[in-house]
Amino acid sequence: MTNSHTTTNTKLINHDFVYHSPDTLDDALKCLGEPGAVVLAGGTDLINKLKLETAHPSTVVFIGDVGQLHNFTHAAGLSIGAMVTMSAVERSPVVRRNYTCLYEAVHSVGGQQIRNTATLAGNVGNASPAADAPPALAVLGAQCELGMIGKNGEIEFRTVSVEQIFSGPGKTIMRPGEIIVSITVPEPPSACGSSFQKNGRVKLDVAKASAAAFLHRDGDTCAELRIAAGSVAPTMVRASTVEQALRGRKMSMQAVIEASGKIAKDIAPISDVRSTDCYRSRVMNVLVRDAILEAWKRAEGEKLV
Amino acid sequence: MKKEFQFLGKDFPRKEGRARANGFEKYPSDLYFDNMLYGRILRSPYPHARIKSIDFSEAEKLGAVCVSYEDAPGKRFNLRLVSVPKATYKDWQLFSDHMRQVGDFFGAVAAETEELAEQAARVVKVEWEILPAYMSMDAALAAKDNLIHDKVFLEDQEIKIKNNIACTREVVEGDIEAGFQEADVIVETEFETPRQYHCQLEPRSCVVRPEADGGITVWPTTQAVHNTRILIGSVFNLPLNKVNVVRITGGGHFGSGIHTNPVTLITTALALKSKRPVKIVQSREEDMYDHVRYPSKYVLKVGARKDGTLVAGHMRAYIDIGCHHIQALAYLGVMSGFWHSLYRMENMKYEGTAVYTNKVPTCAMQGYGAPQVTFGVEGTMDMLAEKLEIDPIQLRIKNYVGLGEVFWGQGPTVKSPIFSDGVVELLKKGAESIGYYKRPGSQKQTGRYRRGIGFARGFHTSGTGAPVPGEVKDYTTVQVKVNEDGTIDILTALMDHGGGTLDAAAKIVAEEFQVPFDKVGISPADTRSTGYDVCTHATRGVYCGAGAAHEVAKKTKDVLLEYAARYLDAYPDSLIFSYDEKSGQTRISVWGNPEKTTTIAAVAEHAMNKDWGTAIYSKSIRKVACPPAYTNYFVEVEVDTETGHVKILRVVAGSDAGTVINPILAKGQLHGGFYRGAGMALLENTSYDDKTGCLTNKGSMIDYKMLGIDEMPDPDDFEVIFADTYEPTGPMGAKGIGEAAFNPAPAAVTSAICDAIGIRFTKLPILPEDIMDALGEGHDK
């Protein structure tokens, strides 16, 4: 005899849990120290997981009442608290002007209602290989400030780069009870440009493949290039082969095309419900190339031929 | 040619628009009654299995009321009662121990809250016997035993099923072998169209309340209140005057409510057993396991002479209908009929085979078989035009079935002559507007982005009326009443899916009486207070439904004229109606005698005070024709040859709907129909994991993608042209539009892609992955 239950019931959350909504970071992290506790920020990933029964937390800790987590400053780099929404990031003129790939990545996430509640930190912490913000944050050199209650009962902070935080699909190096408290992004120097390119089934979709590029121009040379790819490996990946092929080189269309063509070495795409490995490989070339060209243009480089 | 009207042809706001916009409109999922229980359906985790035993004891401990096949009447039926009994295969039971798909239902529980019902459902224990599952037509056809159905019934006759073949249909005209002998050019191609999910906003839902007199009141999501009543009466042995099915606004149907949904019967079973009101609102994933569009797979062979005359055609179709008949016989019939009516061919043969598989049961969806057939036929016409070196538009004009010819509205048994035809006008205007003859074509383009212009034409029937009875029932009963203040009420079971069918009826009645639109009301309706209406399907809403309202309105007007004649001391035939905008009154005057004048209100009130009676009339009206509502789409796309993405840049829609009742809504139909048709061409499909029998999207919208507003052209780049036609058999010259708005859309998008990149796709949907594969291989796919 087996239970008859088959389909999920996404009208309900079929799972009991203890719910906390503390108003200080200290209390929040204490609650999160309980075994089986998960953090609730915007909820656009967690609620889906609860309804689809892929998450079974015993405790849910809502951090939206913690005032300091709503802080969003942009003097000498960005500091983005854990509760800062995608739409807040998207609406910032500074982000749009100086951190263009982050604006483009955030703007490409879901619909307006999703972005109004989803948080930037949540998009990182959820650790989906297809997430849009992480490649953009990685090429901008963003850091995550992590916090948890240490053995002495005090909050312990540490800093990990966005690039280093992922350990697998849905997995990060964060310890139990640890959360992203804020994300900081260094201010790009002048003569820099960045771009985020995404391919999905429709515009309102998770990426089939995505690429972010950050480029520092020195005259007609590519002084520095950072590229990250999404949805083509178990985690977001840096495209170091492509980067090396262009770094320090005089820019030309031919050089960009050749370098982009090397992306296959940096990625390991699979076939799934959204696309095929073959298509992802093909389209990744195009996304990387377009991201580099767009970043070059934004770094005020000469039009390449 | 169009006539001049007082009200028709002008934009009007929807009667229920305000209620919908501010949340006052009630849908089945909004209803709440005291003492109400919430139901949850028990479903199979296996694609093919038999239940050895069920243990409800744990669920009952939670206070749940449980029903299963053990306490269900074993009667066989078909959920769809649109066809006559002799053409309706019966393979459904209320509950069965034989599970035929993942998500198939074998019982249900009801409890005090939705959460408790969910818990109860989860503790029901079942002992299963797993059977081999047939997840493809090939596997199903090869099966000798463990069939999905051993037997089905046609009336009381038992029919043994072999090789999982649900039914077959052959339609022959002339002699195709002789016909193909005459052909100079023959094109033979296999076409395939997807299992598109209806994705109506409101999942199929139902509320049932037992009444003190032993009867029940039912609020279902349905397009057919009367057929729902009849089926419930038959399944549960209830007298029909004890089953009251209420017409309630549904949150969209697209064909998924033509048949009575299983949830309606299951909710009824729970309400009858618990003797309490019960509500079931299906989850989205349940809904996706509940119904889906008929797919199609067919080989189409067409022969033509050098001059472009079509001489013979042969269509061999295999249809994967999933695990039940929701009237596949009718589907096979309409495939033959729609094909027959697209282009004239003296020699035609259609062979259709419907095959059971362990998948979601297929049913009608906007267009029924027409988008499927039009896709292949229009693709074939393009290929023939290329081979014959004839302009594709001229080839259509030469061969299309038009004015004076016979149209098959709903398969081979529903036929009538064509009295109005705007095809040539629409093709010419559409080609001109989009610049069809100025397109560069695929050969002359290089670079990443290539543009293409394509087109396709098609139609849908306007209802299933015909001069002689066929396999399909088609009539609507209407009552029109003039109130004592001169306002008018229409009472009918006619359904409105959101396209404005009932508004159209009100507008036509308003025109007949020359009263303003807001003086004509639509009465709330249920099956006890109305006569039979077959269902709103087959694009019959305006032509048949509002057409019936028009015929009855004329009869009511006759009654009013009698009263007015008495009141004015004149003869009824000398009275004329005119609307006086200043007073807001409709005057009835005697011609040539300007002093003899009154108003509708005065006559109606006088008739009451004098005890003459109410001006009221009720009648069932059948239409004796099924005119084609022609549509064509010219589409311009841009294909990104590096990613395979297709962007729709411009659309020019041509619609021959006869008299246009409300232009803004009619345009909305074309926007909507094109939108879903483009989705069928470029994106929408449900596929299966053959190992588990589950949908690969697990019934979730996360992975059932539809086009969004970002994928549609700017509204300014979507032009609508209405043909200048008048349908003499229609209400004030009108015919249908709804499904016609869908049918040529997938073919038109496919044609535009071909014009851009030189690759003709014959299988839908055309995903970017497919385009990249085809471009990589550099040949047709």
Cβ-contact A136, A144 below 8 angstroms: no
- pLDDT, average across residues A75-99: 97
* Angle (nearest 5°) at CA B707 between B706 and B713: 165
Question: What is the token pair recorded at B735?
Answer: 């015919």
Q: What are phi and psi of B462, to 5 degrees?
A: -105, 90
- pLDDT, average across residues A73-82: 96
Quick one: pLDDT band at residue B781, thresholds 50, 70, 90?
A: very low
Portions of chain A given CATH number 3.30.390.50: 192-298
Record: contact A201-B705, CB cut-off 8 A: yes
**pLDDT the model gives residue A1:** 60
Q: How far apart are CA B488 and CA B523, in angstroms?
A: 10
Quick one: pLDDT band at residue B9, thresholds 50, 70, 90?
A: confident
Record: contact A275-B769, CB cut-off 8 A: yes
**What pLDDT digit, counting tens, does each position of B574-591 carry?**
999 999 989 889 999 999
Nearest CB to B285; choose among A8, A201, A205:
A8
**What pLDDT digit, counting tens, does each position of A170-205 carry?**
999 999 999 999 999 999 999 999 999 999 999 999
The count of other CB atoms within 10 Å of the CB of residue A302 is: 11
The count of other CB atoms within 10 Å of the CB of residue A2 is: 9
Query: Which of B358, B322, B265, B238 shows the shortest CA–CA distance to B79?
Result: B265
Quick one: pLDDT band at residue A253, thresholds 50, 70, 90?
A: very high
DSSP 8-state symbol, B36? -
* Angle (nearest 5°) at CA B550 between B545 and B554: 150
Portions of chain A given CATH number 3.30.43.10: 18-62
Question: What is the token pair recorded at B723?
Answer: 């043909």
Crossing angle for the helix pair A100-107 and A277-298, to the nearest 10 degrees? 140
* Angle (nearest 5°) at CA B197 between B191 and B199: 145
CATH for the A67-185 domain, from 3.30.465.10, 3.40.50.10490, 1.10.10.10, 3.90.1150.10:
3.30.465.10
Record: contact A203-B711, CB cut-off 8 A: yes
**pLDDT the model gives residue A8:** 87
Q: How far apart are CA B240 and CA B243, in angstroms?
A: 5
Q: Are strands A166-168 and A171-172 parallel, antiparallel or unpaired?
A: antiparallel
What percentage of chain A has pLDDT greater than the value 70? 98
Residues in chain A: 305
Task: Using alpha carbons, list the distances in angstroms from residue B199 to A47, A234, B193, B289, B512.
Answer: 22, 32, 17, 11, 37
Cβ-contact B279, B36 below 8 angstroms: yes
**pLDDT the model gives residue B756:** 98
Query: Which of B775, B749, B778 shows the shortest CA–CA distance to B764?
Result: B749
Record: contact B115-A12, CB cut-off 8 A: yes
Query: Is it the case that residue A92 has pLDDT exceeding 90?
Result: yes
- List the single best residue of B115, B129, B287, B696 to mutate versus A (max A Cβ within 10 A): B115
**What pLDDT digit, counting tens, does each position of B700-757 carry?**
999 999 999 999 999 999 999 999 999 999 999 999 999 999 999 999 999 999 999 9
Record: contact B702-A14, CB cut-off 8 A: no
Q: Are strands A155-161 and A237-238 parallel, antiparallel or unpaired?
A: unpaired
Cβ-contact B193, B295 below 8 angstroms: yes
Quick one: pLDDT band at residue A216, thresholds 50, 70, 90?
A: very high
- Considering Cα of B402, then B404, then B410, then B411, what sign does the dihedral take? negative
**What pLDDT digit, counting tens, does each position of A260-288 carry?**
999 999 999 999 999 999 999 999 999 99
Tell me the ipTM for this assembly. Answer: 0.96
- pLDDT, average across residues B128-150: 98
Question: What is the token pair recorded at B197?
Answer: 């999910």
**pLDDT the model gives residue A15:** 87
Q: How far apart are CA B388 and CA B385, in angstroms?
A: 5
Q: According to CATH, what is the number of the domain A18-62?
A: 3.30.43.10
d(CA A50, nearest CA chain B) in Å: 14
Q: Which domains does chain B have, with CATH numbers?
A: 17-24+475-621 (3.30.365.10), 31-131+200-253+257-288 (3.90.1170.50), 292-467+625-777 (3.30.365.10)
Q: Are strands B98-99 and B49-55 parallel, antiparallel or unpaired?
A: antiparallel
- Amino acid code (one letter) for B348: M
Q: How far apart are CA A31 and CA A59, in angstroms?
A: 8
Cβ-contact B723, B426 below 8 angstroms: yes
Query: Is it the case that residue B780 has pLDDT exceeding 50?
Result: no
Classify residue B451 as exposed, middle or buried by CB count within 10 Å of its CB (0-12, 13-18, 19+).
buried
Residue of B nearest to A290 (CA): B642
CATH for the A192-298 domain, from 3.40.50.300, 1.10.10.60, 3.30.390.50, 3.40.50.2300:
3.30.390.50
Task: Using alpha carbons, list the distances in angstroms from residue B609 to A216, B562, B587.
Answer: 91, 15, 20
Classify residue B425 as exposed, middle or buried by CB count within 10 Å of its CB (0-12, 13-18, 19+).
middle
Peptide bond into B765 cis (omega under 30): yes
Matching residue, tokens 């719910």: A19
Record: contact A11-B643, CB cut-off 8 A: no
Residues of A in contact with B285 (CB under 8 A): 7-10
Residues of B in contact with A14 (CB under 8 A): 115, 118-119, 122
**pLDDT the model gives residue B101:** 98
The whole-chain average pLDDT of chain B stands at 96
Q: How far apart are CA B141 and CA B346, in angstroms?
A: 32
Cβ-contact B637, B753 below 8 angstroms: yes
A contact set with B (CB within 8 A): 1-12, 14, 48, 52, 199, 201-206, 273-276, 278-279, 282-283, 286
Q: Which helix (H) or strand (E) covers residue B126, if one does?
A: strand B125-130
- List the single best residue of B642, B687, B773 to mutate versus A (max A Cβ within 10 A): B642
- pLDDT, average across residues A20-43: 97
Query: Which of B258, B264, B282 shows the shortest CA–CA distance to B537?
Result: B258
Record: contact B283-A286, CB cut-off 8 A: no
**pLDDT the model gives residue B479:** 98
DSSP 8-state symbol, B260? P
Nearest CB to B118; choose among A6, A12, A274:
A12
**What pLDDT digit, counting tens, does each position of B355-399 carry?**
999 999 999 999 999 999 999 999 999 999 999 999 999 999 999
Record: contact B703-A3, CB cut-off 8 A: no
- The shares of helix, strand and coil residues in chain B, as percent rounded to the nearest 5, are 30, 30, 40
Return the C-alpha torsion angle B130, B132, B135, B141, nearest 10.
-150
Cβ-contact B253, B321 below 8 angstroms: no
What percentage of chain B has pLDDT greater than the value 70? 99
Query: Is it the case that residue A305 has pLDDT exceeding 90?
Result: no
Matching residue, tokens 């009381």: B156
**What pLDDT digit, counting tens, does each position of B590-604 carry?**
999 999 999 999 999
**pLDDT the model gives residue A178:** 97
d(CA B100, nearest CA chain A) in Å: 14
Portions of chain A given CATH number 3.30.465.10: 67-185
According to DSSP, the residues that pair with B319 across neighbouring strands are B354
- pLDDT, average across residues B2-29: 88
Query: Is it the case that residue B4 has pLDDT exceeding 90?
Result: no
Query: Is it the case that residue B777 has pLDDT exceeding 80?
Result: no
HEC-encoded secondary structure of chain A: CEECCCCCCCCCCCCCCEEECCCCHHHHHHHHCCCCEEEECCCCCHHHHHHCCCCCCCEEEECCCCHHHHCEECCCCEEEECCCEHHHHHHCHHHHHHCHHHHHHHHCCCCHHHHHHCEHHHHHHCCCCCCCHHHHHHHCCCEEEEEEECCCCCEEEEEEEHHHHEEECCEECCCCCCEEEEEEECCCCCCEEEEEEEEECCCCCCEEEEEEEEEEEECCEEEEEEEEEECCCCCCEECHHHHHHHCCCECCHHHHHHHHHHHHHHCCCCCCCCCCHHHHHHHHHHHHHHHHHHHHHHCCCCCCC
Residues of B in contact with A278 (CB under 8 A): 769, 773
- Amino acid code (one letter) for A37: A
- Considering Cα of B5, then B9, then B13, then B14, what sign does the dihedral take? positive
**What pLDDT digit, counting tens, does each position of B23-67 carry?**
999 999 999 999 999 999 999 999 999 999 999 999 999 999 999
Task: Using alpha carbons, list the distances in angstroms from residue A93 to A69, A74, A99, A197.
Answer: 21, 10, 10, 20
Query: Is it the case that residue B1 has pLDDT exceeding 60?
Result: no
